[in-house]
Amino acid sequence: MKKGIAAFVLIALSALAADLTGNWSGSFTVEGGDHDVPQRFTLRRQGKSLSGSGGPDAGEQYPIENGSVEGDQATFQLTTGEWKFTYHLRQLSADRLAGDLKLESVNDSRTAKVSLTRVQGD
């Protein structure tokens, strides 16, 4: 009985982790910051690869670089001018991603917390 429950949980978790493809919206807050910065992503998962685009809104998008998925973890980067954004996200549910962001430029480095939800109907 315990093996059956464990197998069911593993199957359910792998199905949950597989469902990243779609549109996501949310924000990040830089540590010590006083406001949220909007985020909008279009993600496409193929096996362990993650591609798509992201930015502050649907009109300003940058291509995802080095995207990968392992279990419920997704990592990828975006480069916007002088800044490189490195995301480390975890899928908390079918419609929610959260995690950490590292922002780096030539003269600066910051960290932030990210929270995204799936956009329905897009």
Question: What is the pLDDT, as a whole number, of residue 15?
Answer: 47
In the chain, which residues have pLDDT < 70? Answer: 1-18, 122
Which CATH number describes the domain made up of 2-118?
2.40.128.20
pLDDT for position 115: 97
Enter the pTM of the model. 0.83
- Rounded Cα distance between 66 and 34, Å, is 30
**CB of 32 within 8 A of CB of 103?**
no
User: What sign results for the dihedral spanned by CA atoms 114, 89, 39, 93?
Assistant: negative
Q: Dihedrals φ, ψ of 6, to 5°? A: -60, -40
Residue ranges of domains in the chain: 2-118
